[in-house]
Amino acid sequence: MKPRIIFVIGTDTGVGKTVFTGLLLHHLQQQKVKVGVIKPFCSGGRDDAIQLADVLGAPELLDEINPFHFDVPATPLVAARAEGRVVPLRQCVSLLQEAAGRCDTLLVEGAGGLLSPLGADYSAIDLIRETEAETVLVAPNRIGVLNHVLLNLNVLNHAGRMPGSVVLMDQRQADYSAETNSQLLHEAWPQVRFIEAPFLTGEPLSKGARKESYTNFKKTLATVMGRP
């Protein structure tokens, strides 16, 4: 059976991709799925990949989970150039395919947004297209998100990789738009699930908080995986 590849992409950096990916990883582990995870690119630190390795229960696999990492806190193309390095599209695609071959479901966490340049001639949309990955779009449920989500959906639709789900991450302090964002997006793209996810405090992927985070997020994760 062909492995399932789920690519988690955000409308921007810092919108909750790692939290969502980590909790989805934990969810699939609880369902006894043979699951793997990879965050191909990290710039300016590897904290996100370290958290994912911890959830996987395999900190020794950090370099497999995050094969390309750079010290400069910039988009991966810029960070790689600053270090005199080149990561070709074919090399990255091959690593994703190899990782997928070791499990039944592979979670891939993107870096930055859908069109953030990862290499000289590619971005996350190219990785999604080349690997035929399913996509989950993560966005903050706040004012301004409508434009960001709609732009991303137009790009994904053009590439033939429309997401089954868009996860709107609730914020610490909800603004007025949070009450209407999901409905307006559903009116524009009725074939897509728009799911509001609860705000999680502290460090939700830490060992001490993970159980409570998962309890609060379980309904969201089940809906994304196709069980409302």
* 107-117 b/e (C-beta count within 10 Å ≥ 16 → b): bbbbbbbbebb
Q: Is 39 an active-site residue?
A: yes
In the set 2, 34, 39, 211, the catalytic residue is 39
Place of tokens 């732009």: 151
160 vs 178: CA distance, rounded Å: 28
User: What residues contact residue 171 under an 8 Å CB cut-off, 6+ apart?
Assistant: 140, 141, 142, 178, 199
63 vs 60: CA distance, rounded Å: 8
Strand runs labelled E in the chain: 4-10, 35-38, 41-43, 68-70, 105-113, 117-119, 122-123, 134-140, 165-169, 193-197
Phi, psi torsion values for 106, nearest 5 degrees: -115, 125
List residues with catalytic annotation: 39
